[in-house]
Chains A and B, each alone.
Chain A
Amino acid sequence: MDLLEYQGKQFFAGFGIPVSPGEAVTTVDDAVAAAERIGYPVVIKAQVHVGGRGKAGGVKLAANADEVREHAGNILGLDIKGHVVKTIWVEFASDIAEEYYASFTLDRAAKKHLGMLSAQGGVEIEAVAETDPDAIAKIWIDPVDGLSEEACRAWVSAAKLNPDATEGAVDILLKLYRAYVDGDADLCEINPLILKPTGEVHALDAKVTLDGNAEFRHEGWDVYDATQVRDEREQAAHDKGLQYVGLDGSVGVIANGAGLAMSTVDIVNQVGGSPANFLDIGGGANAEVMAGALEVINNDPNVKSIFINIFGGITKGDEVANGIVTALGRVQIDAPIVIRIDGTNAAEGRAILADHESEKLQSKPTMIEAAKTAVELAK
């Protein structure tokens, strides 16, 4: 779950990390009122879940109310890579002496936490990694030990920040590690982490991805869930508790299991089609779940055919077939459906479907045949 910048800053502030005073607003008038409270100069920043805001005109400096009015008016409603700006963050503009980069994430290969710190901040860290990998100081942290002040100090020293920044950086990084671990984040990134001319160190940006699996132990994460950007299809699937990813094609895909769903998307592509989505209905595949999945797919105007790909394991093929038939009785489906059932009791399942076969409902014995038929029907 990705946080917007202002949410990330509020998250950081909760762990004592210094951020600029600011307010999130959704109208020009509120932006002006916020700026008046904060004091000039202010920065007006578009709150969207994509990078490259500055280049797109989504970050502007304002020295007075008129400038706030002008910039806020331009930024609200701005389309940044398909994300329309609905919220802007107005914060006090900081003087910057130097810009650094800091982050914590999980290194899956090492199975340890990885901290990265660089004196070259304010730019894409991937670019730094490519052109000057030695400019990034890395520290691998055993989750059992955590990050000690001593290790943190050595790490900051290795990053060769301005010596004036040492104390402030150590303090922020220790807090950032706590935010990352105790806050159940997958990623906590500050870019840029700034040194002010007055010597303080400060988080000027915040990029935070929270681990949705940890929601049960955090109050108030539903606020973040509400600002996630999902297209209509994704929102409908999310509301039904389905694992859904929207794609651009015309073949609706339903499968049981994440791996099989991914594989189904691949096969549709391989036989020359283009999938409309990834949808994993999980292991159960009863009539209710199937009906919900079909509804989500059916509401996608791009869908011209539907490919249901089920492997019966614990869930028997005949149970799945009965679920599909029941679901079809409950949901009016416009696009033709191709079903492949394999695995336990597949023959019984196919026999059940055979009784309901029509131009709108066909059963094929293999994944590839079913994919080809579905792709043909989508043309």
Chain B
Amino acid sequence: MAIFVDENTKVLYQGLTGSQGRFYGLRNRDYGTQVVAGVNPKKAGTDVDGIPVYATVAEAKEATGATVSCVFIPAPGVKAAVLEAAEAGMELVVVITEGVPAQDEAYFFNKVKRDYPNTRILGPNCPGIISPGKANIGITAGEIAKAGGPVGIVSRSGTLTYQALYELKLQDIGVTTCVGIGGDPVPGTSFIDCLEAFEADPETKAVMLIGEIGGSAEEEAAEFIKNKMTKPVSAYIAGVTAPPGKKMGHAGAIVSGGKGTAAAKMEALEAAGVKVGQNPTEAGELMVEIVRSLGL
């Protein structure tokens, strides 16, 4: 089993007709994902390499049965795109776009949570989600992941996620689902949402968590792991040596007012029984040890 998406998931792409949307949409289809529709009000009735384009998310859903939307719309249009997808009843809205204003994120997160409680947002500014061998939605290179479990991955960083997938693959360890929650201040899906889903997924036997400086999401995850999780977890936190007050690339990655340091996050995770690596390779090795010790 996988979490959130699998081989039966039907996906539509808001922004399929743009260059990024087309490139990744077709790549995702080549991977085996059920890419069933694109949405663009100006290009309704056309198609992208055989994928039909509809004017609205609601029409695309009606015609194809899509339940997941992947958003490649430029930042100024993301708020409207997410709200349209939620209103049309999408179960999952994966927002790849980076550079979305924080005020927009805060608004649509709370609006969707209140008015469309059955819709989950993933991102913005995330690499997407991949259930290896089943579905790949977003910009992850599918070939760097081995299918089948037993590890679930949740990460705030794109390239470090790829690194983790790849290191596990080199050790012949498979992944059930890898979720990139993104590096923005208001992520639609949190570490805890993913940990909860992995804990409930019978095929996931262990979880790898990749965090970074800024905010308190890792500390909250540690609290959840301590109290609610039975499955072993390994972790890595990027930005141990980041200077305070400087954004390290991601809008959310900043140590400010002495809060959000890597040291505090690592300490909280270790106190929750998580095996914390000093670098991505070490975190991968720790996961290998965990998997071997489970006899898998």
Closest chain A CB from B247 CB (angstroms): 8
Give residues 137-166 of B contacting A (CB, 8 Å): 139-141, 143-144, 155-163, 166
Closest chain B CB from A375 CB (angstroms): 13
A270 an interface residue at 8 Å Cβ cutoff? yes
B118 an interface residue at 8 Å Cβ cutoff? no
How far apart are the CA atoms of A311 and B163 in the complex, in Å?
7
Taking a contact as CB atoms under 8 Å apart, the answer to whether A313 and B141 are in contact is yes
How far apart are the CA atoms of A256 and B213 in the complex, in Å?
18
Give residues 215-246 of B contacting A (CB, 8 Å): 215-217, 220, 236, 238-243, 246
Closest chain A CB from B203 CB (angstroms): 24
CB contact under 8 A between A366 and B99, given known A258-B157, A263-B160? no
Per-residue interface assignment for chain A, residues 65 to 103, with 1 indicating a CB less than 8 Å from any chain B CB and 0 otherwise = 000000000000000000000000000000000000000
Taking a contact as CB atoms under 8 Å apart, the answer to whether B249 and A343 are in contact is no
Task: Name the contact of B241 in the complex, choosing from A108, A126, A217, A265 (C-beta under 8 A).
Answer: A265
- List chain A residues, Cβ under 8 A from B241: 265-266, 269, 275
How far apart are the CA atoms of A216 and B262 in the complex, in Å?
32
Residue of B nearest to A181 (CB): B103
Taking a contact as CB atoms under 8 Å apart, the answer to whether A280 and B249 are in contact is yes
Closest chain B CB from A169 CB (angstroms): 24
**Interface hub of A109, A259, A260, A367 (most chain B Cβ within 10 A):** A259
A243 an interface residue at 8 Å Cβ cutoff? yes
Give residues 238-286 of B contacting A (CB, 8 Å): 238-243, 246-253, 257, 262, 278-281
Taking a contact as CB atoms under 8 Å apart, the answer to whether B76 and A216 are in contact is yes
CB contact under 8 A between A313 and B185, given known A259-B212, A262-B238, A343-B162? no
- List chain B residues, Cβ under 8 A from A275: 241
- List chain A residues, Cβ under 8 A from B239: 262-263, 265-266
Taking a contact as CB atoms under 8 Å apart, the answer to whether A106 and B106 are in contact is yes
CB contact under 8 A between A184 and B101, given known A258-B183, A263-B280, A343-B162? yes
Taking a contact as CB atoms under 8 Å apart, the answer to whether A259 and B102 are in contact is no
Residue of A nearest to B98 (CB): A213
B186 an interface residue at 8 Å Cβ cutoff? yes
- List chain A residues, Cβ under 8 A from B159: 255-260, 283, 311, 313
Closest chain A CB from B270 CB (angstroms): 17
Closest chain B CB from A269 CB (angstroms): 4
Taking a contact as CB atoms under 8 Å apart, the answer to whether A258 and B249 are in contact is yes
How far apart are the CA atoms of A270 and B149 in the complex, in Å?
32
A278 an interface residue at 8 Å Cβ cutoff? yes
A132 an interface residue at 8 Å Cβ cutoff? no
**Interface hub of B27, B100, B157 (most chain A Cβ within 10 A):** B157
- List chain A residues, Cβ under 8 A from B143: 344
A186 an interface residue at 8 Å Cβ cutoff? yes
Taking a contact as CB atoms under 8 Å apart, the answer to whether B257 and A344 are in contact is no
Taking a contact as CB atoms under 8 Å apart, the answer to whether A247 and B243 are in contact is yes
Task: Name the contact of B185 in the complex, choosing from A106, A143, A262, A312 (C-beta under 8 A).
Answer: A106
CB contact under 8 A between A217 and B76, given known A109-B215, A258-B250, A313-B141? yes
B43 an interface residue at 8 Å Cβ cutoff? no
How far apart are the CA atoms of A280 and B125 in the complex, in Å?
15
A356 an interface residue at 8 Å Cβ cutoff? no
Residue of B nearest to A279 (CB): B249
Taking a contact as CB atoms under 8 Å apart, the answer to whether B157 and A143 are in contact is no
How far apart are the CA atoms of A261 and B160 in the complex, in Å?
9
B54 an interface residue at 8 Å Cβ cutoff? no
Partner-B contacts on A (CB < 8 A): 106, 108-109, 111-113, 126, 142-144, 181, 184, 186, 211, 213-214, 216-217, 243, 245, 247, 255-263, 265-267, 269-270, 275, 278, 280, 283, 311-314, 342-344, 366-368
Which 7 pairs of residues, A with B, have the shortest CB-CB distance? A259-B157, A258-B249, A257-B159, A259-B160, A214-B101, A260-B159, A313-B141
Given contacts A259-B210, A262-B238, A266-B279, 4 further A-B contacts (CB under 8 A): A213-B75, A259-B158, A259-B250, A311-B166
